Structure 1
Amino acid sequence: MAMVTFVDETTSGERRDALGLDIAEERLALRELIRRRVLEEAPDGDDTDRAYDRAVEAFGRNGFLVLVGDRQIEELDELVDLGPRTEVVFLRLVPLVGG
């Protein structure tokens, strides 16, 4: 079983642990990791399908990068190896002022 820690980070260096999640699989596609995070973090009554769709759309338009260890995950269907202590960083990209 893997313990995945999701971390939110910005390009300015701000860092916040979002949550830890036990995952039985040894490998998952990035889209499934995003789905599980959304399911865990969505408040009761929120539309998780809509939140998931927004997250996938944001990834597609480069609203954030995903880093696992020293590797950037570039595709939603790319498989991520999960170990006992895997850190998944969601690096939010902030647009330049005026651009």
Structure 2
Amino acid sequence: MSTISLKITDETFAGKILNEISIAVSTEHLTVKDIIEARVNAEVTEYNKKLPEIYRGLVQPKDAEVALNGFRVKQRAFVDAEKQVYAALDAFQKNGFFVLIDNKQAEALDEQVFVNSNSAVSFIKLTPLVGG
């Protein structure tokens, strides 16, 4: 089985793209929870490899402040992926952001979706999300 490269964008309500990443998924049949977890884990892994000053991710790490196009990490330390995933899943359930998959709003974490390499996955943040 081959992996699928899924393009994910962060957008404003007006449709302006703020950030764009690609993640690899191993199946076409996923849940919304799978997509959120894969996205957050990919962001944390990328950040932890380089420990840049700015974390560009869905959830603001603990001890970070909002900066242009991301979050400024005060003390460059590894970000805990598990805490970030938990915060993201919690925020989704509390309507902290919407997920659109091929322009259809995802309603629940356990919702089954079918994706392919042409699928458009958009995250629309409503409030800043703070993690661990």
TM-score range, shorter chain: 0.7 to 0.9
Corresponding position of 2:18: 16
Percent sequence identity over matched residues? 30
**1:88 and 2:121 correspond:** yes
| Conserved 8 A contact 1:35-1:52 | yes
The unaligned stretches of length 5 or more in structure 1 are 95-99
Decide which structure has greater strand share.
1
Write the distance in 1 (CA, Å) between the matches of 2:104 and 2:32: 13
Alpha-carbon separation, structure 1, partners of 2:98 and 2:91: 10
Matched, 1:60 2:93: yes
Q: Looking at both structures, which has the greater relative contact order when contacts are Cα pairs under 8 Å and sequence separation is at least 6?
A: 1
**What are the ranges of 5 or more consecutive residues in structure 2 without an aligned counterpart?**
49-77, 128-132
CA distance in 1, matches of 2:7, 2:24: 9
Deviation at 1:24, TM superposition (A): 2.1
TM-score by length of 1: 0.85
Residue aligned with 1:85, SS? coil
Q: CA RMSD in A?
A: 1.5
Residue in 1 that maps onto 2:83: 50
Give a deviation string over 1:18-53, Cα, whole Å, max 9, x none.
Answer: 211222201111111111111110121211010001
Matched, 1:33 2:35: yes
Please report the TM-score for the alignment, with normalisation by the length of structure 2: 0.65
Larger radius of gyration: 2
Give, in whole Å, the separation in 2 of the partners of 1:18 and 1:84: 15
Aligned length: 94
Say which SS state the counterpart of residue 31 (structure 1) adopts. Answer: helix
Q: Which runs of 4+ in 1 moved over 3 A?
A: none
